[in-house]
Structure 1
Amino acid sequence: MQYMLMIYHEEAGWDRMTPAQQAEGMAAYQAYSEALAAAGALVGTGRLQPVATATTVRIEGEETRVLDGPYADTKEQFGGYYIVEAADLDAALDWAARCPGARHGGVEVRPLWAMG
């Protein structure tokens, strides 16, 4: 079954890190991605632009509203994701616990619908 691991973190935290800490963080994500790939569990991954670049579309009645920014103001922002293949939820949770994002924010684990 496929699961999405959604990484939530405080975006401003990156700017407070030293260049060495940023390099260490990037290396941790690279190693995590390599471990997923080596295990045959990596389906896809992506990193999102900052939340300030978001645009939200809502339909209210017959009117389409386009709003700059995210829909909700939150302490942590959705910053990236992994899609993994895992035997069950416990296996997906194990991968989420190994994600560097779990150390500085949170990782939401959600099964994907099997389409078609």
Structure 2
Amino acid sequence: MIVMGLVLAVVAVLFGVAVVVGNEDEAQLTAFGGTVPGVGEEWQVFMAGAIVMIACMAGITLAMFGFKRSMGMRRELRDLRDEHEESLQTLEMEKRRLEQELAQARRNAPVRS
């Protein structure tokens, strides 16, 4: 998800840069050496720029959501590991206590003949 968002943002930026660098005429939209068909007026060029910006923002937003999700999963995994470690420590302490009680009970038990 992060990669897809970053790719979308990079493609949008590259397209925008290509449009800006490649435009020499006032109302002609060119990108990567070719003229974009159907765009011949200034407002159409502006709308094309707005669409490129929307695509770029969508890509950045998608990358941010992916990053947040990834960080949340890492945090949850870390919490689960900590909880598991605490559980193991508790079980080990209980085991030692029970072993001590068993040893004490065996020492205090009467010897059968």
Q: Same fold (TM over 0.5)?
A: no
Q: Quick one: higher RCO (CA 8 Å, sep 6+), 1 or 2?
A: 1
What TM-score does the superposition give when structure 2 sets the normalisation length? 0.26
> In proportion to residue count, which structure has more helix?
2
Return the TM-score normalized by structure 1: 0.25
Of Structure 1 and Structure 2, which has the larger fraction of its residues in strand? 1
- Highest CA radius of gyration, 1 or 2? 2
